[in-house]
Structure 1
Amino acid sequence: MARLHVGCAMWTHKAWPGRFLPQSLPAKERLRAYAGWCNAVEGNTTFYATPARTTVATWAQQTDPDFRFVVKLPKVVTHERRLVGVEAEMRAFLEAVEPLGERAVLWTQLPGSFGPADVDALGRFLRRLPADRRRAVEVRHPGFFTDAGSTALLEGTLTDADTEWLPFDTTVFFQSPPTSEAEQDAWVKKPRLPRRTRALTNRPIVRYLGRDSIEETVEGWRPWTAVVAGWLREGRSPTVFLHTPDNDDAPALARRFHDDVRKLVPGLDPLPEPEPVEPATLF
């Protein structure tokens, strides 16, 4: 049966203890608490360093088999060597994340300079990945979004490798100037690309960036609730990640997005209710 997974860019954040997570938790328990709110998470830390296999094993122990990790490939693979001559690094990475099994999606986030002329290298790289590993690619070169030939070239390469095109939708965020320090920081760092809503596989993945304003964020995701509902009716099982500039409310927003989709697809299973969090005390 089709499932909707929702999540955030991380499973721990300075604003969450006392709201979404208990006040004091050892590191090995934080993911378990987060998994009471969401059933997916982005693995962004793996971009900077490949974790120890023993560490990844604790991630698997803290989550149900249906939980999803979308783990970003190391920076040395995608940005420094641009997918060429990375056999040793990829062997180490695949070995490290193996405990996650089918929970893991391999996320290849490519730099904005990786353009249509580099698609052959991407195709060769994807063909060398283990066939049983789910994979998704995020591109940031404008040509892939604005030139029909480049779009078709990338879609064909990804489809041949049973790989999803992972869009990062920032269109709502860039509709009006920043109004806070967090929005100003995101304004400088986040990519500005057209919205893409076409799925290539039965497990599409979307990253959506809203605003500081909850109302603007919710209003901005309306096109996605319709798209995701359509995917579910087609039998696909999408994963949607909710971002805001500060991510302070991200777990609650992810659950709200799931609720909004359920209004369109009443047969969709609800998320489990999270454990109540004890309020902060003075003593």
Structure 2
Amino acid sequence: MSGADTPRLHVGCAMWSLKAWQGRFLPHPSTAEERLRAYAGWCNAVEGNTTFYATPARATVASWAQQTDPDFRFVVKLPKPITHERRLTDADTELRAFLDAIEPLGPRTHAVWLQLPGSFTPADVPVLAAFLRRLPGDHRYAVEVRHRAFFDDARSARLLEDLLAAADAEWVPFDTVAFFRTPPTSDAERDAWTKKPRMPHRSRALTDRPIIRYLGRDDTAATVEGWQPWVETVTGWLREGRSPTVFIHTPDNADAPELARRFHDEVRARVPDLRPLPEPAPTEPLTLF
């Protein structure tokens, strides 16, 4: 394959700005526009988690597009009123407002992400089916479920897989196995221990653009050890012609951009013709001495 047909690996983080990144991954001081632009020099994708809490202004989204190249990818989360409060019913007004707001991203919208609450059970799948049927066909969609029956009960898993595959929508796993393998050792890990869901490893792709969310530890060695199965899986997907997106999380996310690049490097060592990531701009002024 070549050109547009060449499989791509997008990697990124849960956000594009974090205080701990300033002066390291991001310039300091910097404006919001400078932070996104700098982040896009480290990673070529980002989770749009902020849209869960409020639909952004269209002008704000247009500024995101202006700060990123056309091959940068956003996975934007549907707002909480749609998925958690209205639970995918009677939310057409909110949905239209959201889709209109993200329109300026154009091809940068990798997928519209439906993160469903843990109370969304296999009995609710018909509601999801009806919602997916109403969605416009000019976006790709990805669904994250957290009720354990979807993972532990083969019939429930197959029910969801069949629905998503028919809609050309992806099932987004949030792999927290490595995180919960041993007790927490830092304040950030202890906080995440009480807030993050205990989700199993799931690695079956339904489309040509699978999306993975992986939670490691604050210890780099433990994070890298925990993602080794994903290196194998992603390598296999690329060889099959799929273009995966992998988001690397840690409890404090302090090293997340560097870790995302390391994951990309590990896969590229196995798939040498994989397109490299952009080169980060220096965060400090260049000097002659």
Normalising to structure 1: TM-score of the pair?
A: 0.97
Q: What is the 5 A alignment of 1:72-221?
A: 72-104=77-109, 105-221=111-227
**Partners in 2 of 1:91 and 1:277 — Cα distance?**
39
Partner residue of 2:15? 10
Counterpart pick for 1:31 among 27, 36, 40: 36
Matched, 1:252 2:258: yes
**Partners in 2 of 1:163 and 1:46 — Cα distance?**
20
**Partners in 1 of 2:202 and 2:276 — Cα distance?**
27
2:172–2:210: 8 Å Cα contact kept in structure 1?
yes
**Partners in 1 of 2:33 and 2:67 — Cα distance?**
8
**Partners in 2 of 1:164 and 1:216 — Cα distance?**
28
1:109–1:137: 8 Å Cα contact kept in structure 2?
yes
Matched, 1:20 2:25: yes
**Partners in 2 of 1:180 and 1:17 — Cα distance?**
22
Q: Per-residue displacement from partner, 1:20-72 (whole Å, max 9, x unpaired)?
A: 01111111221111000000000000000000000000000011111110011
1:169–1:193: 8 Å Cα contact kept in structure 2?
yes
- Deviation at residue 74 of structure 1 after TM alignment: 0.4
1:172–1:210: 8 Å Cα contact kept in structure 2?
yes
Q: Per-residue displacement from partner, 1:195-234 (whole Å, max 9, x unpaired)?
A: 1000000000000000010000011100000000000000
Comparing 32-41 and 267-276, the one that deviates more: 267-276
Partner residue of 2:3? none
2:27–2:34: 8 Å Cα contact kept in structure 1?
no
1:11–1:31: 8 Å Cα contact kept in structure 2?
yes
What secondary structure, in the 3-state scheme, does the structure 2 residue paired with 1:207 have? strand
Moved over 4 A (4+): none
What are the ranges of 5 or more consecutive residues in structure 2 without an aligned counterpart?
A: 1-5
**Partners in 1 of 2:159 and 2:35 — Cα distance?**
41
Fraction of identical pairs, as percent: 72
- Deviation at residue 130 of structure 1 after TM alignment: 1.0
**Partners in 2 of 1:127 and 1:237 — Cα distance?**
25
**Partners in 2 of 1:112 and 1:154 — Cα distance?**
15
1:102–1:133: 8 Å Cα contact kept in structure 2?
no
Matched, 1:45 2:50: yes
What secondary structure, in the 3-state scheme, does the structure 2 residue paired with 1:35 have? helix
- Deviation at residue 276 of structure 1 after TM alignment: 1.3
What are the ranges of 5 or more consecutive residues in structure 1 without an aligned counterpart?
A: none
Cα RMSD (Å)? 0.8
**Partners in 2 of 1:129 and 1:243 — Cα distance?**
29
